[in-house]
Amino acid sequence: MTPNRAFKTAIYEQLARIAKALASPARLELLDLLAQGPKNVDLLAAQSGQSRANASQHLQVLRGARLVEASKSGLHVTYRLAGDEVADHYLALRKLAETRLTEVERITRDYLEQRGQLEAIDGADLVGRMRRGEVTLLDVRPADEYAIRHIPGAISVPLSELEWRLSELPGDLEIVAYCRGPYCVMSVEAVELLRARGFTAVRLDDGVHDWRWRGGDLVSGEEPA
C-alpha cells in the first residue's frame, strides 16, 4: 500500500466511526434528547422508551465515537453532547433525510393528519406575531430543558402540568406550543388538549436547535416571575 493510499484509508476509517455510531434509530433519538441538555441514563432510557441496559450500551457506542461525554457523581452518570457541532450534525442528517426520503414526509403527514394537526406556524411569522402581542408561546418540554435554553418570550408550561395550569393562559390569544423539534409529539398532545378546552392553538415545528439553526436567538435561565 502506498503512503497516499494508506493516508486516505486511515482518514476514511475515522470518518466511518461517526457513521457507524449514527447507524441506529435508538442512538439518533438519544442524540436528539441530549441536544436539549445533559441527562442521566435513567432519564434517557425513560424518555426514549428503552431499557436502562440498552440505553447504556448505545451511549457507550456514542461515547466511543466521541459524540457524547459523561461525568459521574456518586452512582449517577450524566451524559451530554460533546459540543453544539454534534447537534448541528444531527440536524444536517435529519434535513438530508427529509430532502431525499419521501417516506419521512409521508410518515409525518399520516401521523399529523390522524391528529388533525397538519398546520403549523412558521418561525418568521411567529416572531412578528409575538412582537405584536398576538400569540402566547408555550415551551411544553420539562422545566429543566427550558432552563438550559429556550426561545425568547416563551413561557414554560411542561406538558405534564398543562391540564392544571390552563387558568394561567390568556383565552383571547392564539397559543403556539413547541417542544424538541418536528418529531417530538409533546407539542401535538399539548395542542390537542388546548383545543379540547376551547383554546385556539397551533404547533411550532422548530425545537431550540432548529431555531438556532435558522439564526434565531436562544436564552437560558428560569422563567422570570
pLDDT in the model for residue 118: 76
What structural domains and CATH numbers belong to the chain?
Answer: 3-86 (1.10.10.10), 117-213 (3.40.250.10)
pLDDT in the model for residue 224: 53
Stated pTM of the model: 0.90
Euclidean distance between CA atoms 204 and 109, whole angstroms: 15
User: Would the pLDDT of 218 be above 50?
Assistant: yes
Element (H, E) at 121: strand 120-121
C-alpha distances (whole Å) from 106 to each of 98, 143, 165, 213 are: 10, 32, 34, 24
Tell me: the pLDDT tens digits for 31-84?
999 999 999 999 999 999 999 999 999 999 999 999 999 998 887 889 999 999
Q: Bridge partners of 2? A: none
Q: Give yes or no: 179 in active site.
A: yes
Please tell me which residue in 179, 191, 204, 208 is annotated as part of the active site.
179
